Structure 1
Amino acid sequence: MRAVAASAAEDTQDGILAASATSIADALRSEEGSITLDLPYSALSMLGTINEDRVFYRVVVNGETLTGYDDLPPPEDAPTLSRNTFSTFEYRGDEVRMVSVARVVSTGGAPSNVQISVAQTRLGLQAISQRISAIATAAGIGFFVVATALSLWAAQSALSPLERMTASVTRRGPGDLRPFETETPAELVPFVAALNSFIARLRASLQRSEDLIAEAAHRVRTPLATVRAKAEVTHRKLNKPEHRQTMREMIRAIDESSRSAGQLLDHAMVTFRSDSLSEEVVDLSEMVQDTCDRLSPAAGLKDVSVLARVPDLPVTMKGDWVLLQSALQNIVDNAIKYSPEDTTVEVALSAGETIRLAVTDAGRGFGGADVEALKGRFARGRNVDDIVGSGLGLTIADEVARAHGGRLEIAANRNGGGACVTLVFPLS
């Protein structure tokens, strides 16, 4: 900026100097064989308007000074009739810029060579250069600020679809694999298309995995039921104790495999339905009574009674009936399985600050195990190794509770031995 400004100011000063020297040259006269000069006022006044610059001039005729400053040095590059010369040098303590103009004046029939030099200090030039630099710098800074603001606005406008997509992904649940449908700039269309294609492949892969688990559990459970029935018949026909013991171990292994297959199927179903949770009004009082009625025959085989305690007024919440019943059924089934004969499994429904479904039994409890660890897949207490189980019942209940914004609480039965497993849901 400073270099361009200095060059522009110098060109301006050179133009004024040349005009001043030309004006002086035009005032030269030949009278009675000699050259005279009536110095025009305008020739120097046009130079004196720039700041407080000093002006020097010298008119030389055939090597002799006609008028002006005798000590003003001649130019190193002599001017010609067709070319003016410019030079910069130190003169009387200041830096000056000088122009030299050549003319030929006829005196008494003989030509005389005249050289006119006009010099001016450079204070005005520096002032003009600084002013131009300041204006140009201010304009540049202003342009930079405006360009930066416009760039930030443009960048924000261009990135706003990505920000919306980021917010959408943040709000989505772990199983929400819907494609993105949002207006995006042309540059982002291939990216969104590739992302949606990836989501579609992931959704298909998860669906195949869930279908495989469900199909495998179904395919395994049916043959196992047949094998168990045949093993029971064979067990009755055996006479030797060691053979009967072997068959009992086989029946136990079949029971464990059948139960694991069934609960794997339940777990796959819970995982699938949690991703697209149904929002319907569920009457929990009706669900508790229905679950207890379903499991009472199985409990009766062990001489265990199932007691449902529900409020007089219906207790309702929004959720998935199938999932909620699956969670409660797994908890009650566990309570029946681990309860001794002639005991009661109590299912109590209450509504206060939260909705609580508490299942208590008089069984073995948890044997000092970490109750939070029991929510993990295939985790079982150390005191139930002799009872058939898969370790998925509490896992299913915990996942259903979290899918509905609730939690699963596991504790000892306060009214005696046994356990108390509670599903807790918010009222809203």
Structure 2
Amino acid sequence: MVLAGAAVILGLAAWQYSSVAAQQAYDRLLSGATIQIAENVYVQGGVAALDPPVAAIATLSAYDMVFYKVVDPRGIVVAGYGELASTATESAARSGVVLEDGVYQGQIVRIATMARQIGYPAQAGMGNDRGRPDQGRVVGPRARTDKALTVIAVMSALALLAASFAIGLALKPLTKIESEIANRRADDLSPIHAEPPFEIRSLVFAIDGFMQRLADRMNLMQRFIANASHQIRTPLAALDAQVELLSTTKSPQRRAEYLARIRDRTAQLARLTNQLLDHAMVIHRADAAQAAPVGLNELARSVLASAVPLSMSREVDIAFEPADPAPVVMGNAISIREALGNLIHNALVHGARSRLTIAIGQNGDSAWIEVRDDGAVFDPTIAEQLIAPFAKGESSSGSGLGLSIADQVARAHGGSLSFARCDGLTIVRLSIRGGAA
């Protein structure tokens, strides 16, 4: 609107300036032709006569019809159109060309009048030319330039004022958004309610999306902290009870029994603490860590070597089946390592009786790692329950975080954690989809 208004005003100013310039140029032609006609008036036999200047009249007739009239001192028309009349006074006409608008034969005309003194037998005189061609050539362009600069300066000032007003009016809703955010509580991450201007609507939507993600992350961490504090209290209370019993008993057999229980409780607490830290790390790295190429064969081999203890209470056959060619996926090696380590630990502690197999495979743009064991019969229908944080099976004494960590890692890599039972084996598959490199 500002630019359109300025364009209209500038157009009107340009039209007015062009009209004035054209009128001035036309008047100069008309004045020049009038002077030439006056200079071509002469006295012959005591009578004024005219030798019409053909060039001057031809120049004017190229634009319009030309009418002229020559009157002697007696008021007699000696040449031209007698009906052509002018309202200029003789004294004004003696001073120079007088320009005026008039009507001739029902048409609007521009009239130039000039009086010139000529020599009769009874008097002598000479024409009086009061024009200043050199001064007009300098002053005329300077005056037009001053007018143009004045128009430009005025329009620039108006445009600045209008633009300042328009910008202030358009950005006024930002003050409402600023006030709403400034007056919020620290825990209020709800979307902005103030209606944003169209120009910054995408920015406000992006801020709302960021606050929603931040709220989700905060809620996730709050739930994790609440669950972790609840889970840690139980083994700490049991450990405190065992220490209290140990301090009061005097029987060597009882003391040995209580020490064994304290040792088990301490190991469980250490395992729970490590898994809680792993769980927090997986939650953080799901969005913060950058993906990098990960070779699944090498990673699974190293995790298997470090996760299987050298001494176990039972004989377990360990097998590793790498894929050929070796799959390489885009992901976070630390998170995948933790997920696989938890799956192997669960299989050794709660599943495998005598057989554990780690298999790697690839299918198109997805890759997978399978942990197979010959443990007790597993019902795949309860998988959704077991992957929830701190969920435990009926015979499990673990922390309930192993499968949850593996499931979160799989989801963060575009895959899933699935369960199956085949040929007497429980199969847990960690798949990574859309990330094969």
TM range (shorter): 0.5 to 0.7
Residue in structure 2 matched with residue 55 of structure 1 by the alignment: 66
CA 1:249–1:30: 2 relative to 1, 3 Å? farther
- 1:22 to partner: Cα distance: 0.4
Aligned: 1:380 with 2:391? yes
Equivalent of residue 71 in structure 1, options 62, 69, 83: 83
- 1:17 to partner: Cα distance: 1.0
- After TM superposition, list the pairs within 5 Å mapping 1:199-348 onto structure 2: 227=239, 231=243, 234=246, 237=249, 258-270=270-282, 271=284, 275=289, 283-284=298-299, 286-287=301-302, 289-291=304-306, 293-294=308-309, 297=311, 300-301=312-313, 305=316, 307-311=318-322, 315=326, 317=328, 323-339=335-351, 342=353, 344-348=355-359
Aligned: 1:25 with 2:33? no
Q: Residue 372 of structure 2 contacts residue 425 of structure 2 at CA under 8 Å; is this kept in 1?
A: no
Q: Residue 85 of structure 1 contacts residue 100 of structure 1 at CA under 8 Å; is this kept in 2?
A: yes
CA 1:355–1:278: 2 relative to 1, 3 Å? closer
Aligned: 1:411 with 2:419? yes
CA 1:304–1:394: 2 relative to 1, 3 Å? farther
- 1:64 to partner: Cα distance: 3.3
Secondary structure of 2:369 counterpart: strand
Equivalent of residue 80 in structure 1, options 93, 97, 110: 93
Quick one: distance in 2 between partners of 1:73 and 1:312?
113
Aligned: 1:42 with 2:55? yes
Secondary structure of 1:55 counterpart: coil
Quick one: distance in 2 between partners of 1:352 and 1:370?
23
Quick one: distance in 2 between partners of 1:305 and 1:11?
112
Q: Residue 413 of structure 1 contacts residue 419 of structure 1 at CA under 8 Å; is this kept in 2?
A: yes
- After TM superposition, list the pairs within 5 Å mapping 1:392-411 onto structure 2: 392-401=401-410, 405=413, 407-411=415-419
- 1:258 to partner: Cα distance: 4.0
Q: Residue 406 of structure 2 contacts residue 417 of structure 2 at CA under 8 Å; is this kept in 1?
A: no
- 1:391 to partner: Cα distance: 4.2
Q: Residue 288 of structure 1 contacts residue 347 of structure 1 at CA under 8 Å; is this kept in 2?
A: no
Secondary structure of 2:246 counterpart: helix
- After TM superposition, list the pairs within 5 Å mapping 1:129-208 onto structure 2: none
CA 1:370–1:55: 2 relative to 1, 3 Å? farther
Gaps of 5+ in 2: 1-13, 128-220, 252-258
Residue in structure 2 matched with residue 172 of structure 1 by the alignment: none
- 1:70 to partner: Cα distance: 1.2
Q: Residue 40 of structure 2 contacts residue 53 of structure 2 at CA under 8 Å; is this kept in 1?
A: yes
**One-letter amino acid matched to 2:358:** V
Count of aligned residue pairs for this structure pair: 307
- 1:57 to partner: Cα distance: 0.3
RMSD (CA atoms): 5.0
CA 1:264–1:285: 2 relative to 1, 3 Å? closer
**One-letter amino acid matched to 1:5:** S
CA 1:306–1:331: 2 relative to 1, 3 Å? farther
Deviation string 1:265-308 (CA, Å, 9 cap, x unpaired) is: 224555469726675755256336415633x75xx55x684642
CA 1:391–1:21: 2 relative to 1, 3 Å? farther
Quick one: distance in 2 between partners of 1:324 and 1:379?
20
Q: Residue 57 of structure 1 contacts residue 68 of structure 1 at CA under 8 Å; is this kept in 2?
A: yes
CA 1:249–1:411: 2 relative to 1, 3 Å? same
Quick one: distance in 2 between partners of 1:312 and 1:55?
105
- 1:103 to partner: Cα distance: 1.8
CA 1:47–1:292: 2 relative to 1, 3 Å? closer
Equivalent of residue 107 in structure 2, options 59, 73, 94: 94
CA 1:293–1:228: 2 relative to 1, 3 Å? farther
Quick one: distance in 2 between partners of 1:32 and 1:398?
127
Secondary structure of 1:234 counterpart: helix
Residue in structure 2 matched with residue 148 of structure 1 by the alignment: none
Aligned: 1:421 with 2:421? no
Identity of aligned residues (%): 25
More strand by share: 1
Q: Residue 283 of structure 1 contacts residue 316 of structure 1 at CA under 8 Å; is this kept in 2?
A: no
Secondary structure of 2:86 counterpart: coil
Q: Residue 44 of structure 1 contacts residue 55 of structure 1 at CA under 8 Å; is this kept in 2?
A: yes
- 1:335 to partner: Cα distance: 3.1
**One-letter amino acid matched to 1:283:** E
TM-score by length of 2: 0.54
**One-letter amino acid matched to 1:293:** V
CA 1:421–1:229: 2 relative to 1, 3 Å? farther
Aligned: 1:14 with 2:27? yes
